[in-house]
């Protein structure tokens, strides 16, 4: 199982401003899409974890913009697991133009696991095991 996940798509017109440049907040949306695909690649999805009473709440998000993405550009979001413990998960992202290979943005999100009561809890064991396996592979 790879320790990164690539998500590919084209910039939609609705994601751009009047100059056909992608509006900055869409990069955070793209990170979410990458993170969702990463979890699916590991064998689970957020909906399953939520049914098991655990939510990964974003506590921090950062994005460094390096070059603009434009309408109809082919985009690749590479998602990786940067840090993991029982209650926190940090994902890292590299967003690039698929045709040129140019890095457009780099970012990260930090998540804390909480229960239905919104209090911190441990990531449920089956999901923690899948994330741990990915973290080990990333370190190899």
Q: Are strands 88-97 and 74-84 parallel, antiparallel or unpaired?
A: antiparallel
Q: How many CA atoms lie within 13 A of 15 on its CB side?
A: 19
Domain segments of the chain: what residues? 4-135
What pLDDT score does 140 carry? 55
Residue 103 has what pLDDT? 98
- Phi and psi of 76, rounded to 5°? -125, 125
Predicted local confidence at residue 139, as pLDDT: 63
Q: Which residues contact 16 (CB under 8 A, 6 or more apart)?
A: 22, 23, 70, 71
From 17, 72, 99, 129, active-site residue:
17
Superfamily classification of domain 4-135? Hotdog Thioesterase (3.10.129.10)
- What integer pLDDT is reported at residue 21 of this predicted model? 96
Is 37 a catalytic site residue? no
User: What are the per-10-residue average pLDDT scores of the chain (140 residues)?
Assistant: 85 95 97 96 91 95 98 97 94 98 98 96 93 78
pLDDT on residue 1 = 40
């Amino acid at each position: 199982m790879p320790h990164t996940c690539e998500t590919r798509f084209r910039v939609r017109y609705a994601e751009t401003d009047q100059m056909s440049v992608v509006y900055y907040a869409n990069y955070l949306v793209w990170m979410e899409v990458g993170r969702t695909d990463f979890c699916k690649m590991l064998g689970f999805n957020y909906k399953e974890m939520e049914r098991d009473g655990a939510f990964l709440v974003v506590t921090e998000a950062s994005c460094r913009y390096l070059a603009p993405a434009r309408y109809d550009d082919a985009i690749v979001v590479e998602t990786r697991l940067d840090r993991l413990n029982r209650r926190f998960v940090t994902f890292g992202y590299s967003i690039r133009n698929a045709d040129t290979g140019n890095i457009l943005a780099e970012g990260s999100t930090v998540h804390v696991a909480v229960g239905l009561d919104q209090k911190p809890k441990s990531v449920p064991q089956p999901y923690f095991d899948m994330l741990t396996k990915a973290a080990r592979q990333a370190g190899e």
